[in-house]
Amino acid sequence: MDKFVIRGGNPLVGTIRVSGAKNSALPCMAAAILTADEVTLENIPQVHDIETQRRLFASMGAAVEMHEGERQDRITIDCRALTDPVARYEIVKTMRASSLVLGPLVARFGRADVAVPGGCAIGGRPIDLHIKGLERMGAEITQEHGYLKARARRLKGAHLVFDKITVTGTEDLLMAAVLAEGETLMENCAREPEVADLAALLTAMGAKIEGAGTATIRVQGVSRLHGARYRINPDRIEAGTFLIAGAITGGDLIVANCKTEHLGAVISKLIEAGVRVEVLGPGTVRVRAAGRLRAADISTEEYPGFPTDMQAQYMALATQAEGVSLVTENIFENRFMHVQELVRMGANIKVDGSTATVRGPARLSAAAVMCSDLRASASLVLAALVAEGESVIDRVYHMDRGYESIEQKLSAVGAQIQRMGNVFAAREQADPVAV
């Protein structure tokens, strides 16, 4: 298992480029199921979740070509040979977003067997709203042997009102609606930019969609979609993580190739916390420390509120701010797994229900810590960048799920970060207490 060894204390200086959005790439790949033509996606990040999605497609018979060479960020998906619409447990259990294939499989093939995702580190994460929506569109769904079995002739347009705002739920049902017969009206939809990204691809494939990116989406179903070529948005969570990296290290960092209009809540909060943030253009932000960081509360919300996917990284920053910051998590239960590890590095954090009270500034000291999920791992890397001494961060496979070449990107702007693979494994084997 790979680890990062990070020596803290270096301010990050220079320019860091943001990759394509993992959370746009995954639904956009699923959208390729809706057509027998080729779909080419550009700006695909080289992260492990994309490889998992590729394996899922291959297991169903589809072809996914990752383009080698200069433009490694391009993939072409061809679902002509997709004959086995089954999302197997072995894959779904490692990536819950695999349930995104449910809607498109039912819409195109009239059947899908998708393993029921189990619990995960950040909470139960059910998919009941995906199921309810498909049932309203005429699918029959049963559960057997840990699999959802969905069957339908042609799905029918329906009036869907989400009980709760769900990102992948909105995306899954949007993909089902584009091939359904008649009109689908979806209300209380997620307004995340990734939903709008998916809708833009679907529109390029011939779908008729209005309102994506707002709470109400109206879809006129069509009988077939064609192939398309589409460039997905930059990753706003990776961009936000870099903004915090610049701020927490007291550096001077330019975050390039992002979409600043997607970063509103994060940028406002950083300014409130005393960080100097300058938007240099629609795709470039400069972040600099301007004296001491000040405590500022956050409360996670659906977009355009402060993203839950930035909560753990913000908490690392809050440990360095003067005063008391309240960090409230409203989207997922159990998304404070990073707290114990930050505390082991010297942070002063108390959790009470869904609120963490962070008292700062704390002098962080390097420690051996363990990643528990994707964003928690980013939080530990950020803390290690300012901790005194050399931290060893274990289970970085969580980080690899969603951050492309993170150690190369950070070391290019001055971080002392190294990936250790076999060296550590060998050392651990020889002496289990040495690492």
Closer CB to ligand UD1, 130 or 409, in the complex = 130
The answer to whether the CB of 254 falls within 8 A of the CB of 277 is no
Closer CB to ligand UD1, 186 or 293, in the complex = 186
Shortest separation between residue 27's beta carbon and ligand UD1, angstroms: 7
**HEC letters along 51-116:** HHHHHHHHHCCCEEEECCCCCCCCEEEECCCCCCCEECHHHHCCCHHHHHHHHHHHHHHCEEEEEC
**Is 371 a residue of the active site?**
no
Closer CB to ligand UD1, 132 or 294, in the complex = 132
Closer CB to ligand UD1, 75 or 97, in the complex = 97
Shortest separation between residue 57's beta carbon and ligand UD1, angstroms: 16
Binding residues for ligand UD1, per CB under 6 A? 23, 26, 96-97, 123-130, 164, 166-169, 194, 308-309, 331-332
CA distance 358 to 367: 19
Classify 40 as helix, strand or coil. strand
Shortest separation between residue 312's beta carbon and ligand UD1, angstroms: 11
Closer CB to ligand UD1, 227 or 307, in the complex = 307
- For residue 56, give both structure tokens: 């899922």
Closer CB to ligand UD1, 332 or 424, in the complex = 332
Shortest separation between residue 323's beta carbon and ligand UD1, angstroms: 27
30 pairs with which residues across the strands?
none
Element (H, E) at 357: strand 355-360
Helix residue ranges, H only, 249-324: 264-272, 311-318
Closer CB to ligand UD1, 331 or 380, in the complex = 331
Helix residue ranges, H only, 157-232: 167-177, 193-204
Neighbour count for residue 407 (Cβ, 10 Å): 19
Shortest separation between residue 271's beta carbon and ligand UD1, angstroms: 23
The answer to whether the CB of 12 falls within 8 A of the CB of 385 is yes
C-alpha torsion sign, points 151, 41, 260, 217: negative
Distances, alpha carbon 267 to alpha carbons 242, 245, 360, in Å: 12, 13, 20
Shortest separation between residue 236's beta carbon and ligand UD1, angstroms: 11
Closer CB to ligand UD1, 61 or 126, in the complex = 126
User: DSSP class of residue 161?
Assistant: E
Closer CB to ligand UD1, 26 or 256, in the complex = 26
Phi, psi of 34 (to 5 degrees): -75, -5
CB burial of 268-286 (b: ≥16 within 10 Å; e: otherwise) equals: ebbeebbbebeeeeebbbb
Shortest separation between residue 95's beta carbon and ligand UD1, angstroms: 8
The answer to whether the CB of 319 falls within 8 A of the CB of 327 is no
Shortest separation between residue 55's beta carbon and ligand UD1, angstroms: 16
Phi, psi of 209 (to 5 degrees): -130, 135
Find how far residue 142's CA is from the centre of its chain: 29
Give the count of alpha carbons within 13 A of 88, CB side only.
Answer: 11
Active-site residue among 28, 79, 120, 371?
120
Sheet holding 275-281, edge to edge: 13-17, 252-256, 284-289, 275-281
Shortest separation between residue 47's beta carbon and ligand UD1, angstroms: 12
Which residues are marked as active site? 120
